[in-house]
Amino acid sequence: MEKELVFGSEEWLAELNDRVTFPQMFTIYLGIHNKTNENMLHAVKIQTKSVKPNNIKYGSVKPTLSMALSPYKWLVEGVYYIESAEEYLDKMRKLCTRWDVNFDD
């Protein structure tokens, strides 16, 4: 059984660094639950050679299948070029605060 990681912990950062090669471009989605209106954020890596988020065409950015099948309505919050796991953590914390998402769950 896998140990549950705590968002922002040293173990979480190590796992993120193992799974993602930085720098990396991400699409961040804001999800709004259909029944409870609870907000959540979801990040998806973008495969691109560009380092400029402005070069990404929003029409080419699509939610994953699991997102489409979830009880959330999704919108693109933004596209971000992230240099490190620490920058990713900082960006997600700021977005969680902006969109009233409890990132400690």
> Does 47 reside within a domain?
yes
> Does 1 reside within a domain?
no
- From residue 68, how far is each of 22, 34, 74 by CA, in Å? 27, 12, 8
What is the domain count for the chain? 1
Q: What whole-number distance in Å separates Cα of residue 47 and Cα of residue 26?
A: 9
Is residue 37 pLDDT above 60, yes or no? yes
Domain range for 35: 10-98
> Does 63 reside within a domain?
yes
> Does 103 reside within a domain?
no
Among 3, 82, 14, CA closest to 43: 82
> Does 23 reside within a domain?
yes
Greatest Cα-to-Cα distance within the chain, rounded to the nearest angstrom: 41
Q: What is the mean pLDDT of residues 88-95?
A: 95
Q: What is the mean pLDDT of residues 18-45?
A: 93
Structural tokens at position 26: 């991400």
> Does 86 reside within a domain?
yes
Q: What is the mean pLDDT of residues 12-27?
A: 92
Structural tokens at position 8: 């922002």
> Does 105 reside within a domain?
no
